[in-house]
Amino acid sequence: MTPPHQTADISDPALGQVYREVLRRNPGEAEFHQAVREVLESLAPVFTRRPEFVDARILELVCEPERQIMFRVPWTDDQGRIHVNRGFRVEFNSALGPFKGGLRFHPSVNLGIIKFLGFEQIFKNALTGLNLGGGKGGSDFDPKGRSDTEIMRFCQSFMTELHRHLGEYTDVPAGDIGVGSREIGYLFGQYKRITNRWEAGVLTGKGLGWGGSKVRTEATGYGTVLFTDQMLKARGEDFDGQQVVVSGSGNVAIYAVEKAQQLGANVLTASDSSGYVLDDKGIDLALLKQVKEVERGRVSDYAQRRGPSARFVPEGRVWDVPCDVALPCATQNELDGAAAAVLVRNGVKAVAEGANMPTTPEGVRVFQEAGVAYGPGKAANAGGVATSALEMQQNAGRDSWTFEHTEQRLTEIMQDIHASCYETAARYGAPGDYVLGANITGFERVAEAMLAQGLV
């Protein structure tokens, strides 16, 4: 059955027509449809005030990628068996700068998911105030259980095709799910080998010893918490003493836990595909890092070693745990309407998305109707791409900044993003609506650049 968010009409006739055309031209791409609809539902007041955007067909242009690249990725495993995966790079919009967005290696990856991520990236990057376009890429390759040499061979094959589309002034990928510093290293090495250029600015998320930026590992999780802190302060509160649930136990989740604890919160949960752990004393960050980052274990291993304060729950979701703040940091559509209703009944005050589109449209509606401070991913998790841009700045100047200086720049950027979203929502008569504020702020910045550059 087609999900309801794909078929329900949009109230504004012109925007509804654009959405129907997106459905017609992109069949079967449910996540992309969802992302487009979420933005379109915020834009009716913009087109009332800015008819020049309508005349220039800016919205139709924004919904169509500038370039979509698909290619095969052949590679051999350690036993000499041949595998063939599919690679993607969707270069969505370059009005504000070179295409910028991560690479995701996961068996769920398909064109629709890459387009949804790339579309979100346009507005997320615009919100940073930095000169970044939007794009995304990846492969249906599953790195789980593969040896380092297998991952190296896959990355070399992937980059052999992708390199011709990249460049520090053209398209600058980073990491995402399944792509960390190991994969970025193999990808960069192959790019350098093929092009005969040590072009540090062509990839971000590099190792600290060869062009990477301090705070890049922490940036998305830190940024999510910093944005949430600003939402709480807008309501006269802060993180100190708040009970927090976090989903996920990857890079974003771990560093969201770290920053929330630094600000005085008690973080109760972490999760993975096997279930979740509830730790009444608060997550032991050092143990979680050891289990997940060093041993690549499961949260059940954390529970076994933590002691009586922690218990592993193989069924159910972290959203069943009463909390003040919820930070979904795992994957798209993990927090649905029913889970959102449970959080609201249990008194949640603020929800911010560390992952990309983890809350379904029904969940968003529940939070907004209940008056919960809800920070959408394009604003709340923009810290990762913001720090990627800071890495690009350092590479361009052959420079390396301290952790403290880089974290301060990240903090300023997240505060600016919150202020822009908050002020735009108020300017359009919807105070406190961060979805509308983020969508309109990001769209106006992109649309004005597109209008200035002509029909391209």
- Tokens (6 digits) for 432: 């406190």
Contact (CB, 8 A) for 138 and 103: yes
CB 101 within 8 A of CB 136: yes
Q: Which two tokens stand for residue 92?
A: 């969505």
Distance of CA 6 to the CA centre of its chain: 22
Judged by DSSP in three states, 313 sits in strand
Whether the CB-CB separation of 76 and 82 falls below 8 Å is answered with yes
Return d(Cα 387, Cα 372) in angstroms, integer: 28
Three-state SS annotation for 405-426 = HHHHHHHHHHHHHHHHHHHHHH
Q: Which residue has the tokens 């500038």?
A: 66
Does residue 358 contact residue 333 with C-beta atoms inside 8 Å? yes
> Is 136 tagged catalytic?
yes
Q: What angle do CA 91, 152, 191 make, to 5 degrees?
A: 45
Which of the following is catalytic: 115, 124, 136, 349? Answer: 136
Report d(CA 124, CA 383) in Å as an integer: 9
Which of 12, 19, 54, 62 shows the shortest CA–CA distance to 37?
Answer: 19
DSSP class of 335 = B
Residues classed as catalytic = 136
